[in-house]
Amino acid sequence: MTRVKICGLTNHKDTELAIDLGADAVGFIHEPSSPRCISEFDLEWLKVLPPVPVKVAVFGRVHKPVFAGIFDLVQGCEWPEFPEAATKRIHSIRVRTGQRVSDFTQMTVNSAAIHLDAFKDGVYGGTGLTIDWDFAAEFVQCSERPVILAGGLNPDNVAEAIRRVRPFMVDVASGIEDKPGLKDFAKMRDFIQAAKEA
């Protein structure tokens, strides 16, 4: 069964709903340019979340340890000066149109998993842009690490994406929102159900 990560959570209510609906991982954005960015003021409710599911701190290019002891994994594009072990990292790759899997075969990635998302200049995720699923399927076949598929996923297309790509996990943010940072309960429920049944 493909696992599900609900990302871009900004409040306790939505996070609790994601957990109750069966999300395997929940993601919290630390990129200041994102409308889904959380802050140190969210510390108290983050502290009281249950130990399951996995909690992921998501960065763009700025990687600083924050909210120590709260997060299980850290996700980002680059790793300057980040002290955590590789087993605690998810390496994000933003794929440009026309790129081939062979462009990445020589890339050394020191992480526990690979996160594939669509590229948009100046934006580190949550764009709603769909990645090339044929590319993603080939990447999954070649990857030595579990692959997390993101990019334009929603309740209507996630089952087909899973059938075609066969990722370890799917990741959604904008595809289940009323507006950036605020989740739609029905869309979140339908997304998780469709992914789990695919």
Distance CA 117, CA 171 (A): 9
Rounded Cα gap, residues 170 and 123, in angstroms? 19
Catalytic residue list contains 132: no
Who's near 66: CB < 8 A, 6+ residues apart? 30, 40, 57
Q: Please give the structure tokens belonging to residue 32.
A: 């200041």
Task: For the chain, give the number of residues.
Answer: 198
Q: Is 7 a catalytic residue?
A: yes
Quick one: tokens of 14? 């939505």
Annotated catalytic residue, options 14, 24, 42, 117? 117
Active-site residue numbers? Answer: 7, 117
